Structure 1
Amino acid sequence: MSPSSKCVFERRLIEKYIAEKGTDPISGEELSVDQLIEIKNPPVMKPRPPSATSIPAILKILQDEWDACMMNSFAVRQELLTTRLELSRSLYQHDAACRVIARLQKEVTASREALATLKPHAAVSQPREAPYGLEADESAEATDEEIGMSEALQEKASALTAVRKQRGKAIPENLIKPEVLSGYVELASHMGLHSASMPGITCMDVHLTNPNYIVTGGNDKNVVVFNKETEEIVAILKGHQKRVLKVAYHPTEEDMVISSGADSIINVWSVGAQKSRHIIRAHTTPVTGISIHATGDYILSVSSGEKWAFSDIRSGRLLFRVDDSAPSSQGMTCAQFHPDGLIFGIGNVDTTIKIWDLKERTNVANFPGHAGAIRALSFSENGYYLASVGDDSAVKIWDLRKLKNLKTINLSGKFQARDVCFDLSGNYLAVSGADVRVFQSKSWNELVVLKDHTDLATGVRFGENACFIVTCGMDRALRIFGQSEVA
């Protein structure tokens, strides 16, 4: 008998098992032959009945024992087969689960990489709101046109991405050096562009290919096109019923300017004719931000009424409008297209920046972090960085690849930031507010502070290769900064 399991064994078998295993066959505990307890039979045993001592009876007993052994062996084999099948099934399930997990991990990694670089996916047809003045069935007829538009947007984005990658490999040869830019002074100041009775230039923009042309919008409801080189007013565009909130110069056409105002309309102007080509009525609340698409055919607009719209500036037709139905949304303050034109950023009153996919019309990423309403956005031309300013007097640089805040520049509490702008090379960043400040990208060192405005500076833009800086402000002044001619 084993003292460990208290079971009785045949002496020969248990000694053989201990010699091989060294353990109790039942409990698995260590066991030696010396620990076994011998069980002795009484000297006097009850004899077997005569019926069990005959040869037939002995054969019957042996047959019964053999049958019992065979049945037990058969049962053990059945259980072994069942166990093997269950084990095989479990192994296959485990292998399949590992393959699924590996595939899902690969898909998640690919999705994160795609989201990090903000590469939009193929367009998905979604229900959309009918434009003002169009019935629902009329807006539905634009399906084929929108498919063609989507293809045009994708082709333009691919072309721009290739050009941008090639251009981003080297700094432009004629780009102004940081040590030169840090010595910029005021070269000219123009006070007579807008009315003195309703003072204040609220916004401005510079023509991309001919930076001598500057457009401004003011509290006097007028849009003014100014030639920096000749120092002459090219056109005064009148048509808004309330103050102008945003202006944008068409990137390739000197004769086209677009403006939006507190009167909730968007004007597409002909500079030469000094009249409106189209009036786009995409909103019912003040249009707080506009941005021209890289194709030059479309414009993005946002309003304080929590809606953004996409319109055709060639026909003046609203293509679609999207309502930001997020519970936290409190109105939109500014908008800016990414350089490739497939995504764009929108600044909100609720302190968040939302990145939207143009083709899918979905919110693909959010950047929280500001402590006040967002006032302006600017994408770097390399497509990797987004700069934002808000009422918290902070400048934040966002990494679009990692979807996180890369750098925060805290300005004084009284700075009242109103505009932010990267130069075309992406090497410099300018911010306007109580004054105008220029920072060098990557190091984010402050290069120069321009304090010439006597009131809030509402806009700032760079000239070609940062050879000059243009600013505007509530002091009615359009100021030009550059390298001193004396120097």
Structure 2
Amino acid sequence: AQEVHCLAHGLAHCAMFCAISGNAPEHPVISTKSGHLFEQSVVEKYIESTGKCPVTGEPLEAADLLPVKVASTVKPRPLAATSIPGMLSLFQTEWDALMLETHSLKQQLETVRQELGHALYNHDAACRVIARLIKERDDARQALAEAQPSAAVAAAAVAAASAPPTSKGGEPAAKRAKAAAPAVESSAGELTPEIIASFEATSKTLSKGRKKRQPPADQTSAEALAAFGEVASEAVLPAGPVCVDVHASEPLAAAGGADGSVILFDCAKGAVGAKLAGHSKRVNAVRLHPSKPLALTCSQDKSARIWNTDGTQLHVLSHSGDVTGVTLHATGDYCVTSCSDKSWSLFDIDRGSCVLRVPDGSGGYTCAGFHPDGLILGTGVDSVVRIWDVKSQQNVASFEGHTGTVTCLAFSENGYYLATGSADTTVKMWDLRKLKNFHTIEPGAAVGGLAFDNSGLFLAVGSADTSVYDTKTWGTIKSFASGAAVSGVGFGRSAATLAATSADGILKLYGSSS
């Protein structure tokens, strides 16, 4: 301690500089460990943050600092500041330096402005290029997506044909979509080159037009649909499951009942129109032709029938089992029926003749539906959904995941998705490009009906009640209570009307009250 005191005493009589700042300290302290001199406030902050000596890096505490007592003296003024002329000269020098610095800053500011303007111009040009590239990318993706459904099922067909048989223990999980090609008997009849050419031309036209097609100007929005209320309720048929279809452009609905009767309903007047009498057992499905005054029906009496909308029966299409579904081809000239005799058949609507019958030994069909482009057919067989290439009559893909009978199915208007409803109380959404299930809706009861609107924006699900879902978010837009299990749903033109039928024989219409 005595040596440190002597050192401090000696330093008091010589020039002292802080080891950190290099300036003469006003409150000097000395490290008792290293002997270095510091400004007290500076070194204490350093020690507080690091706990070390700023020069040697050794551990150092504030208690290791020894204050140095020095005489307080007033710093002498510079010689130039001892007179008024000298101070004026200092001020002039400082002013000149300030002006030079200001001029330099102005030049730098102008340079920065020019560089900023150039950068903004480049940014704007880059944004335009990026926007153009994004548009080209989106167009390419759209074109690829439209081509993929057909390509995917074709690839699945090739894979299924070349895949070796597997043992029962090697079967994949039941809840995974997979390609499959079950044994199919020889089909009755064949598609002529003219029919195939008609199918391909229609598919090409629809696929190309769909790319640029926009929803109609009067398309109902999600907000407007959420405000829908019941506008009509009519007991049109006896109690029992009732199927329904709504015309694509006219205010007309058709419903088929458990007693075999079919009625046409005027949605504008809210009244029953023509009655189609001919079936002797439950009607399983009805379809209204979008461009001709025709109605198609199928029944458990082993027949499908083609009617004029004035009530005249035009053709009876005979089958060997219950006809469970009927669906129109995109050409409007053909229809397909599904049957419990393990076959589906293609009919010429104008002639009422069977063009093609495709038997399948795996099980009876429960429903059927055409893809919007007409080259793919979806069918339900027990709990499995099968996808068929219509031209080759090959089962090119199978979707397994339901645990109950598949009761209904519907393709989205853009052709990318397939919705399937089942007695297992679920609706499964399948991506036709990736051949897999990507979403599941659980309405809580057996599903009796499914329908996309013509824009593909909404999906209606008939179960314990009638619910409408947004196809972008799959959120519920609106649910309508029903007094009995809903057995059929359908959208009218521009989704301005929603029809639902239930097991109590009642047809309900939902729409805007204004």
2:316 corresponding residue in structure 1: 279
Q: Give the alignment partner of residue 506 of structure 2, picking from 470, 474, 477.
A: 477
Determine if the alignment matches structure 1 residue 146 to structure 2 residue 192.
Answer: yes
Q: Contact (CA 8 Å) 2:408, 2:422: kept in 1 or not?
A: yes
Opposite residue 243 of structure 2, the aligned amino acid is C
- CA 1:279/1:171 → structure 2, altered by over 3 Å: closer, same or farther? closer
Seq. identity, %: 36
Query: Secondary structure of 1:426's match?
Result: coil
Opposite residue 200 of structure 1, the aligned amino acid is G
Name structure 2 gaps, 5 residues minimum.
1-146, 158-183
Determine if the alignment matches structure 1 residue 381 to structure 2 residue 413.
Answer: yes
Q: Where do 1:459-474 residues align within 5 Å? A: 459-474=488-503
Q: Give the alignment partner of residue 401 of structure 1, picking from 427, 433, 439.
A: 433
Calculate the TM-score normalised by the size of structure 1.
0.67
- CA 1:114/1:257 → structure 2, altered by over 3 Å: closer, same or farther? closer
Aligned partners of 1:146, 1:355: CA distance in 2, in Å?
Answer: 21
Q: Give the alignment partner of residue 485 of structure 2, picking from 440, 456, 470.
A: 456
Q: Contact (CA 8 Å) 1:116, 1:403: kept in 2 or not?
A: no
Q: CA deviation at 1:179?
A: 2.1
Aligned partners of 2:317, 2:352: CA distance in 1, in Å?
Answer: 6
- CA 1:121/1:432 → structure 2, altered by over 3 Å: closer, same or farther? closer
Determine if the alignment matches structure 1 residue 155 to structure 2 residue 201.
Answer: yes
1:256 corresponding residue in structure 2: 294
Calculate the TM-score normalised by the size of structure 2.
0.64
Query: Secondary structure of 2:203's match?
Result: helix
- CA 1:388/1:129 → structure 2, altered by over 3 Å: closer, same or farther? closer
Q: Give the alignment partner of residue 209 of structure 1, picking from 243, 246, 249.
A: 249
Q: Give the alignment partner of residue 317 of structure 1, picking from 353, 359, 365.
A: 353
Q: Contact (CA 8 Å) 2:242, 2:505: kept in 1 or not?
A: no
Q: CA deviation at 1:318?
A: 0.8
1:235 corresponding residue in structure 2: 274
Determine if the alignment matches structure 1 residue 266 to structure 2 residue 304.
Answer: yes
Aligned partners of 2:512, 2:193: CA distance in 1, in Å?
Answer: 49
Opposite residue 231 of structure 1, the aligned amino acid is G
Aligned partners of 1:370, 1:456: CA distance in 2, in Å?
Answer: 20
Opposite residue 361 of structure 1, the aligned amino acid is Q
Aligned partners of 2:458, 2:360: CA distance in 1, in Å?
Answer: 33
Q: Contact (CA 8 Å) 1:116, 1:402: kept in 2 or not?
A: no
Aligned partners of 1:186, 1:379: CA distance in 2, in Å?
Answer: 26
1:368 corresponding residue in structure 2: 400
Query: Secondary structure of 1:148's match?
Result: helix
- CA 1:113/1:340 → structure 2, altered by over 3 Å: closer, same or farther? closer
Aligned partners of 1:416, 1:113: CA distance in 2, in Å?
Answer: 32
Opposite residue 209 of structure 1, the aligned amino acid is S
Q: Give the alignment partner of residue 285 of structure 2, picking from 246, 255, 264.
A: 246
Aligned partners of 1:234, 1:119: CA distance in 2, in Å?
Answer: 45
Q: Give the alignment partner of residue 341 of structure 1, picking from 355, 370, 374.
A: 374
Q: Contact (CA 8 Å) 1:185, 1:481: kept in 2 or not?
A: yes
1:88 corresponding residue in structure 2: none
Q: Contact (CA 8 Å) 2:294, 2:307: kept in 1 or not?
A: yes
Deviation string for 1:331-352 (max 9, x for gaps)?
2111000000011100121x11
Aligned partners of 2:185, 2:509: CA distance in 1, in Å?
Answer: 47
Q: CA deviation at 1:114?
A: 6.6
Q: CA deviation at 1:174?
A: 2.5
- CA 1:154/1:115 → structure 2, altered by over 3 Å: closer, same or farther? closer
Q: CA deviation at 1:117?
A: 4.3
Query: Secondary structure of 2:242's match?
Result: strand
Q: CA deviation at 1:173?
A: 3.6
1:308 corresponding residue in structure 2: 344
Name structure 1 gaps, 5 residues minimum.
1-111, 131-138
Q: Contact (CA 8 Å) 2:156, 2:397: kept in 1 or not?
A: no
Query: Secondary structure of 1:340's match?
Result: coil
Q: CA deviation at 1:120?
A: 9.2
Opposite residue 242 of structure 2, the aligned amino acid is T
Determine if the alignment matches structure 1 residue 298 to structure 2 residue 338.
Answer: no
Query: Secondary structure of 1:479's match?
Result: strand
Q: Where do 1:146-185 residues align within 5 Å? A: 146-167=192-213, 170-185=214-229
Count of residues in correspondence between the two structures: 344
Q: Contact (CA 8 Å) 2:254, 2:286: kept in 1 or not?
A: yes
Aligned partners of 1:177, 1:474: CA distance in 2, in Å?
Answer: 29
- CA 1:397/1:363 → structure 2, altered by over 3 Å: closer, same or farther? same
Q: Contact (CA 8 Å) 1:203, 1:245: kept in 2 or not?
A: yes
Q: CA deviation at 1:410?
A: 2.0
Opposite residue 489 of structure 2, the aligned amino acid is V
Q: CA deviation at 1:460?
A: 0.7
Aligned partners of 1:120, 1:380: CA distance in 2, in Å?
Answer: 21
Q: Give the alignment partner of residue 355 of structure 1, picking from 379, 387, 391.
A: 387
Aligned partners of 2:200, 2:260: CA distance in 1, in Å?
Answer: 37
Aligned partners of 1:238, 1:115: CA distance in 2, in Å?
Answer: 40
1:26 corresponding residue in structure 2: none
Q: Contact (CA 8 Å) 2:185, 2:360: kept in 1 or not?
A: no
Opposite residue 201 of structure 2, the aligned amino acid is E
Aligned partners of 2:479, 2:458: CA distance in 1, in Å?
Answer: 13
Determine if the alignment matches structure 1 residue 419 to structure 2 residue 449.
Answer: yes
Q: Contact (CA 8 Å) 1:120, 1:343: kept in 2 or not?
A: no
Q: CA deviation at 1:200?
A: 2.9
- CA 1:120/1:421 → structure 2, altered by over 3 Å: closer, same or farther? farther
Q: Contact (CA 8 Å) 2:186, 2:359: kept in 1 or not?
A: no
- CA 1:339/1:114 → structure 2, altered by over 3 Å: closer, same or farther? closer
Q: CA deviation at 1:244?
A: 0.9
1:23 corresponding residue in structure 2: none
Q: CA deviation at 1:129?
A: 4.0
The alignment yields a C-alpha RMSD, in angstroms, of 2.4
2:461 corresponding residue in structure 1: 431
- CA 1:476/1:113 → structure 2, altered by over 3 Å: closer, same or farther? closer
